[in-house]
Structure 1
Amino acid sequence: MINFMTCVKCYRDIVSRKCASAFFSVPLALLIASCGAEVKSSRPNIVLIMADDLGYGGIGCYGNKTINTPNLDYLSNSGIKFTDFHSNGSVCTPTRAALLTGNYQQRSGMEGVIYVRGETRKLGLDPSQRTIADFLKDVGYVTGIMGKWHLGYGEEFNPTNFGFDEFYGYLSGNVDYHSHFDGSGKHDWWHNSDSLEEEGYTTDLISKHSVDFIEKNKNKPFFLYIPHEAPHVPFQGRNDKAYRFSNNEFTYHGPVEDTERAYREMVEAMDDGIGMIIKKLKELNLEDNTLVFFLSDNGAEEFGHNGGLNGNKISLLEGGHRVPAIAYWKNKITPKLSNELLMSMDLLPTILSITETQTDEKFKFDGIDFSENLFSETNLEERPVFWRYRNQKAARYKQWKLLITEKDTALYNLTEDIIESNNLYHDDNSDAIYLIKQLENWENEVGHADKMLTN
Structure 2
Amino acid sequence: MRSNRLHTLLLATLLAFFSATSRNTIASDRPNVLVILVDDLGYGDLSCYGAEDMRTPHMDQLMQRGVRLNEFYANCPVCSPTRASLLSGRYPDRVGVPGVIRTHAGDNWGFLDPSAILLSELFQRNEYHTALVGKWHLGLESPNTPTERGFDTFHGFLGDMMDDYYHHQRHGHHYMRKNKEVIHPKGHATDLFAQWANSFLLEQALQEEPFLLYLAFNAPHTPIQPPKSWLHRVKAREDGISHKRASLVALIEHLDAAIGSVLQTLDRTKLSENTIVAFASDNGGQLNVGARCGPLRGGKQDMYEGGIKVPACVLWPSRISPGQTSNQRLLTMDLYPTLCEAADIEISHTIEGVSFLPMLLGKEQEWPQRDLVWMRREGNMRYQGRDYYALRRGPWKLVQNSPFMPYELYHLEKDPMEATNQAHKETKVYRELVRALQYHVQQGGKVAWQSPR
Give the TM-score category using the shorter length: 0.7 to 0.9
Corresponding residue to 1:286 among 268, 271, 274 = 271
Partner of 1:203: 190
In the alignment, is residue 452 of structure 1 matched against residue 439 of structure 2? no
1:425 CA displacement: 1.7
Q: Distance in 2 between matches of 1:39 and 1:119?
A: 52
Q: Does 1:48 align with 2:46?
A: no
State whether residues 122 and 154 of structure 1, in contact with CA within 8 Å, keep that contact through their aligned partners in structure 2: no
| Structure 2 Cα separation of the partners of residues 428 and 344 of structure 1 | 30
For the pair 1:357 / 2:345, whether they are aligned, the reply is yes
**Separation in 1 of the partners of 2:82 and 2:26?**
32
Question: Percent of aligned pairs with the same residue?
Answer: 33
Look up the SS of the partner of 2:300 in the other structure: coil
- Counterpart of 2:219 in structure 1: which amino acid? A
Partner deviation per Cα, 1:403-425 (whole Å, 9 max, x = no partner)? 13532221111112111011122
Aligned equivalent of 2:330:
342
Deviation at 1:74, TM superposition (A): 0.8
The separation in 2 between residues aligned to 1:55 and 1:77, in whole angstroms, is 18
For the 8 Å contact 2:97–2:109, the answer to whether it is kept is no
Q: Which residue of 2 aligns with 1:251?
A: none
Amino acid at match of 2:449: M
Aligned-pair distance for 1:437?
2.1
1:440 to 438, 441, 453: 438
Aligned mates of 1:39, 1:340 — CA distance in 2: 37
The match for 1:93 is: 80
Partner of residue 304 from structure 2, selected from 317, 330, 352: 317
Q: Does 1:368 align with 2:361?
A: no
Structure 1: tracts of 5 or more residues without a match: 1-36, 241-256
1:154 aligned partner: 141
Distance in 1 of aligned mates of 2:99 and 2:411: 28
Cα separation, 1, equivalents of 2:432 and 2:247: 45
How far did 1:188 drift?
2.1
Residues 421 and 212 from structure 1, CA distance in 2 versus in 1: closer, same or farther, beyond 3 angstroms?
same
Equivalences for residues 34-433 of structure 1 within 5 A: 41-120=28-107, 124-175=111-162, 176-182=164-170, 184-218=171-205, 219=207, 220-239=209-228, 258-302=243-287, 303-334=290-321, 335-359=323-347, 361=348, 363-376=349-362, 378-379=364-365, 380-390=367-377, 391-404=387-400, 405=402, 406-426=404-424, 429-433=427-431
Matched residues in 1 for 2:286 and 2:123: separation?
A: 34
The amino acid across from 1:91 in the alignment is V
What's the offset of the Cα at 1:121? Answer: 5.8
Q: Deviations over 1:112-148 (max 9, x none)?
A: 1112334456964222222111001111100111111
* Pairwise CA distance, 1:238: 1.9
CA offsets per residue over residues 303-354 of structure 1, 9 Å max, x none? 2111121111111111111111011121421222111111111111111111
The 3-state SS of whatever aligns with 1:42 is coil
| Partners of 1:100 and 1:131 within 8 A in 2 | yes
Between 268-277 and 157-166, the greater mean CA deviation after superposition = 268-277
Seen in structure 2, the aligned counterparts of structure 1 residues 39 and 444 have a Cα distance that, compared at 3 Å, is farther
> Aligned residue pairs: how many?
399
Deviation at 1:68, TM superposition (A): 1.1
Question: CA separation in 1, counterparts of 2:40 and 2:72?
Answer: 15
Residue 232 of structure 1: how far off its partner (Å):
0.2
Structure 1 stretch 429-438 or stretch 392-401: which is displaced more?
429-438
Classify the secondary structure of the residue corresponding to 1:378.
coil
Question: SS of the residue aligned with 1:41?
Answer: coil
- The answer to whether the 8 Å contact 1:122/1:153 transfers is no
Distance 1:437 1:331 in 2: 45
Q: Is the 8 A contact 1:40 1:140 kept in 2?
A: no
1:284 Cα offset (Å): 1.6
- Aligned counterparts of 2:67 and 2:218: Cα–Cα separation in 1: 24
Residue range with higher mean Cα deviation, 158-167 or 259-268: 259-268
Contact 1:70 1:271 in 2 (8 A): yes
- CA distance in structure 2 between the aligned counterparts of 1:448 and 1:410, rounded to whole angstroms: 27
Amino acid at match of 1:348: Y
Q: Structure 2-normalised TM-score?
A: 0.83
Bigger CA drift: 93-102 or 416-425?
Answer: 416-425
* CA displacement, residues 23-47 of structure 1 (integer Å, 9 cap, x when unaligned): xxxxxxxxxxxxxx99971110111
- Report the Cα distance in structure 1 between the residues aligned to 2:363 and 2:337, rounded to whole angstroms: 19
Which one-letter code corresponds to 2:273 in the other structure? Answer: D
Q: 1:427, CA displacement in angstroms?
A: 6.4
In 2, Cα distance between the equivalents of 1:80 and 1:197?
38
- Scaled by the length of structure 1, the TM-score of the pair is 0.83
Amino acid at match of 1:397: R
Report the AA paired with residue 45 of structure 2. Answer: G
Structure 1 window deviating more from structure 2 (342-351 vs 272-281): it is 272-281
Q: What is the CA distance between 1:260 and its match in structure 2? A: 2.3
Distance 2:29 2:139 in 1: 34
Instruction: Report the secondary structure of 2:156's partner residue.
Output: strand
For the 8 Å contact 1:49–1:226, the answer to whether it is kept is yes
Paired residues of 2:100 and 2:108 also in contact (CA < 8 A): no
- What SS does structure 2 have at the residue aligned with 1:48? strand
Q: CA RMSD in A?
A: 2.3
The letter for the 1-side match of 2:434 is I
Matched residue of 2:40: which SS? coil
CA contact (8 A) 1:121 1:152 kept: no
Residues 379-388 or 411-420, more deviating? 379-388
> Hey, what does 2:12 align to over in structure 1?
none
Does the Cα contact within 8 Å between 2:111 and 2:449 map onto a contact in 1?
no
- Partners of 2:413 and 2:267 in 1: CA distance: 39
Pick the structure with greater CA Rg. 1
Quick one: structure 1 residues 42 and 208, their matched pair in 2 at CA, closer, same or farther if it must change by over 3 Å? same
What displacement does 1:157 show?
Answer: 1.8
